[in-house]
């Protein structure tokens, strides 16, 4: 009899723990999670097969190498790409955040990631006006985006899309919308 009670209790505990960790079905067991595979630069073209994106470096632009980015890397949140024009504007940042991180509980997809970023700007930075989050495509991928306008009238645009357990967050700072659109035109799918 005691053995049956223990078995029932163990089954209940397993089900309860599984329900508490489910995040709406988003969390996978650790051994089933796919690890991020870094992209690489070849002849001024950044290719990230894992994310399915390619970025061709525009003329007069510079980028940080993977070795330079490695010092800022941790397993759950890191820079994948930093590039800028030689006069600092426009500039581009690609950040990777693991959704199923044991320490990360604030977002579970690309949309809630951008909501979190937008709320942080709305709350903490009075020099920015944020616009609404919208759906769009980037390099053939469905993603979300929103703009920030700064006091100096420069513009920042965020994009976010999911790949497996990771959010790819792309931010561009430029003097105007035309410059942002030009920078984003250098992205393409890898396939």
Largest Cα span, the chain? 77
Q: Digits of tens for pLDDT over the chain (191 positions)?
A: 433 333 333 333 333 333 333 344 444 444 455 677 888 999 999 999 999 999 999 999 999 888 888 766 666 778 889 999 988 789 999 998 887 655 555 677 899 889 988 998 888 888 788 899 999 999 999 999 999 988 777 889 999 999 988 899 999 999 888 999 999 999 999 97
pLDDT of 9: 31
Taken in order of first residue, the domains within the chain and their CATH numbers are 26-189 (3.40.1000.10)
pLDDT of 67: 81
Phi/psi for 14 (5° steps) reads -60, -45
pLDDT of 12: 30
CA distance 26 to 17: 14
CA distance 67 to 90: 23
pLDDT of 5: 32
CA distance 104 to 154: 31
pLDDT of 169: 94
pLDDT of 179: 92
Contacts of 76-79 with C-beta under 8 Å, sequence gap 24+, read 76/101, 76/103, 76/104, 77/101, 77/104
CB atoms within 10 A of CB 51: 26
pLDDT of 27: 45
**CB contact at 8 A, 90 and 183:** yes
Q: Is the dihedral of CA 79, 93, 184, 104 positive or negative?
A: positive
């Amino acid at each position: 009899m005691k053995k049956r009670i223990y078995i029932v209790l163990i089954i209940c505990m397993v089900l309860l723990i599984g329900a508490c960790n489910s995040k709406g079905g988003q969390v996978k067991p650790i051994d089933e999670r796919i690890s991020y595979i870094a992209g690489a630069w070849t002849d001024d073209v950044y290719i990230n097969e894992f994310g399915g994106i390619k970025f061709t470096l525009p003329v007069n632009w510079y980028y940080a190498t993977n070795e330079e980015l490695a010092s800022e890397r941790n397993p759950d949140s890191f820079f994948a790409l930093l590039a800028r024009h030689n006069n600092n504007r426009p500039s581009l940042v690609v950040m990777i955040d693991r959704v199923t991180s044991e320490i990360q509980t604030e977002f579970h997809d690309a949309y809630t990631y951008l909501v979190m970023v937008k709320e942080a700007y709305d709350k903490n930075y009075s020099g920015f006006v944020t616009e609404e989050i919208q759906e769009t495509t980037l390099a053939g991928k469905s993603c979300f985006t929103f703009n920030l306008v700064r006091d100096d009238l420069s513009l920042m645009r965020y994009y976010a899309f999911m790949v497996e357990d990771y959010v790819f967050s792309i931010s561009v700072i430029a003097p105007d919308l035309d410059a942002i659109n030009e920078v984003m035109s250098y992205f393409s799918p890898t396939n």
